[in-house]
Amino acid sequence: MKWTLGINIAGHGASICLLCDDKITFFLKEERVTRRKRDHFIPLLSLNYIKNYTSSLDEIYFANCNEKTKSRILLHLEKLGIKDNYQEDKDASFHHLNHASCGYYGSGFEEAICLVIDGWGRFQSISDIIEKDIEPFELYETCSIFHIKKGTFNLQKKYVNFDPHRYDTLENEYISMNQLLCDLPMDNVVINNTLDIGIVYEIITKFIGFNQDDCGKTMGLSAYGEYDSEVPPFFADDDLNVNMNLFTPSSIVNDINYPKLQRFFTFKKKCNLAFAVQRALEKKVIQIMDSIIENYECKNIVLSGGVFYNVLVNSILAKRYPDHKFYVDPLCDDSGHSYGIVMNNSKPVSYKLDNLYLGPKYDLVDLKERIYKSVSKFQNK
């Protein structure tokens, strides 16, 4: 038997995924063990469960892990008595490719167009793709379109943004935006000089008063809102480029440029702001999907990336394009990367995710005993 382990550590959830002979055997988010929502630390407790399945690993793939983290994980596996054949080339693929793989291999489609939209997903350093003697800075994926057929992923279009903390690099070297775009050797990669809609949704979520990961609360709040003339425009033109006057270089809402926003502290005003950003998200996603429908004959569509936890957007797409089959990745946040990276490297001939329960199996008698013990503790208090 061949045992393959995928490990993900990202800002939105650590997880592990174990394959046996290229078939998924076990998947677990660290948050399910620690009971800390979106636990993104090294999934040591999840790794302990591997002993229940195997004492030897043939391959290990890391997603969103640095070298120090990999060393700690390998040491933990050694302490558990689990042998491994980890090699340096068993490493992470690009962020959006992991999203796309997670969605594709769950869908059961042989051929599909996969649309990935999220906030910031690390792509690569600009110095890796442009032959210029400049200080390196990171590019982050925000939107990607893949054509996938029989496990072969072909990138059609990718939109990336600068690392928000390193704009000064271009200023120091005095490189114009046009020059940077001309020097980019990849025709299917576009560098945005504005924020993307997924990032905008996160920023507004924080401005309303939620954690940036709680975009679902903004979506829910939007149902209580209505059109408000005091909400600034989110787009600057008909091409739906984001209105950058609304945001500071630190990616926060600029209520100096738009002082009326300083009055958005009541529940009703927050609802109206949520309503507006939800409509902006729907409008932008429809624009992208219209382009996909126009340019690709494939009618199987996979949606992945954190934006597609937005069920309002998903329902609109399903109704607007009735001739297309949509599969929404149920693991479309970063925790799905452990699954996506092992599946993309194993490349099974066919696979479909029939259910979301991929954890340990329990004996019914054992479960009853646990329930009785738990009930007895509360009754005796």
pLDDT tens-digit readout, 267-315: 999 999 999 999 999 999 999 999 999 999 999 999 999 999 999 999 9
Average pLDDT over every residue of 44-63: 93
Record the pTM.
0.88
Average pLDDT over every residue of 209-225: 95
- What pLDDT was estimated at residue 240? 94
Residue with tokens 């990669």: 189
- Give the Å distances, CA to CA, from 46 to 32, 71, 120: 9, 17, 26
Q: For domain 3-92+351-364, which architecture applies? A: 2-Layer Sandwich (3.30)
Is residue 170 predicted with pLDDT exceeding 60? no
Coil vs helix vs strand at 43: coil
What confidence category does residue 378 fall into, taking pLDDT thresholds of 50, 70 and 90? Answer: low
Looking at the domain that runs over 109-330, which CATH code has it been given? 3.30.420.40
What confidence category does residue 153 fall into, taking pLDDT thresholds of 50, 70 and 90? Answer: very high
Is residue 171 predicted with pLDDT exceeding 60? no
Two tokens, residue 6: 């995928």
- At residue 237, what are phi and psi to the nearest 5 degrees? -155, 180
- Express each pLDDT in 224-252 by its tens digit: 999 999 999 999 999 999 999 999 877 89
Ranges of each domain in the chain = 3-92+351-364, 109-330
- What pLDDT was estimated at residue 356? 77
C-alpha 6/C-alpha 169 separation (Å) is: 35
What confidence category does residue 92 fall into, taking pLDDT thresholds of 50, 70 and 90? Answer: low
Domains 3-92+351-364 and 109-330 share a fold: yes
C-alpha 239/C-alpha 236 separation (Å) is: 8
Q: Is-contact 64 14, C-beta < 8 A? A: no
- What pLDDT was estimated at residue 366? 83
**Taking every pair of C-alpha atoms in the chain, what is the biggest distance, in angstroms?**
73
